[in-house]
Structure 1
Amino acid sequence: MNWNPLTSIDQLEEINTLSQTQPVVIFKHSTRCSISAASLSRLERKWDLQKAGDVKTYFLDLIAYREVSNKIAELYGVDHQSPQVLIIQNGKSIYDNSHFGISFDEIVENIKPVSA
């Protein structure tokens, strides 16, 4: 799995632009939480590049970059959770889940085709 580090609020504008042409997944991870570590490990073990298709993945260490996490909650209208996964398409969160609800299969099921 190829994570892109999400470390600044400015990257959210890039994510919104990118999400116009390809789905973006953001994984918000707490380095202090065993559930977060377990959810991340489970997602990475299950991740299938072929099934995921043209998804760009971002990883947020929300302990180190809490202001980015807060901005994600505000920008996409989702309650903060940890761990949490969001799918961003067309500049909007079309799906989010947290804790052990995070599942590769659900992520793939909720990705919408990008209209040309």
Structure 2
Amino acid sequence: MIKLISSEREWEELTQDQATFFLLKHSLTCPISSNAKREYERFSEKSDTPCYLLHVQEARQLSNFIQTEYRVRHESPQALCFKQKEPVWHASHHNITEEALQDVVKGL
């Protein structure tokens, strides 16, 4: 199950509660982002790793905060894996696939 987040408060709670998790920065208007989201959804259905979603147009402040705080240049769509409050992997556009996400989990 994917949980939608949109605020810095939710982000702070998330990073306190989860040691490892995935986040997808998703554009509501981009067809490439829609394809990445489908891949992310397929991955989340089979994974035990918590998955979160951020709608860039609705949570621009949070998206910018993550970019600044973790020094990961924003791209949309963009999938990130966090472990112990640090980004350990990220990919964008057509590199976001169910297989790529599964490979990340195998490497954790």
TM-score norm. by structure 2 comes to 0.88
1:37-85 CA distance string (max 9 Å, x none): 1111233235442xx22x1111111001100100111122200000000
Alpha-carbon contact 1:16-1:89 (below 8 Å) kept:
no
Pairwise mapping of residues 4-83 of structure 1 onto structure 2 (< 5 A)? Answer: 4-20=3-19, 23-49=20-46, 52-53=47-48, 55-83=49-77
Instruction: Select 1:102's aligned residue among 75, 96, 105.
Output: 96
Q: State how many pairs are aligned.
A: 107
Sort the Cα spacing of 1:79 and 1:103 in 2 relative to 1 into closer, same or farther, 3 A.
same
Which segments of structure 1 move beyond 6 Å, counting only runs of 4 or more?
A: none
| TM-score normalized by the length of structure 1 | 0.82
Contact in 2 for aligned 1:30/1:62 (Cα 8 Å): yes
Structure with the higher helix share, 1 or 2: 2
Q: Equivalent residue of 1:94, what SS?
A: strand
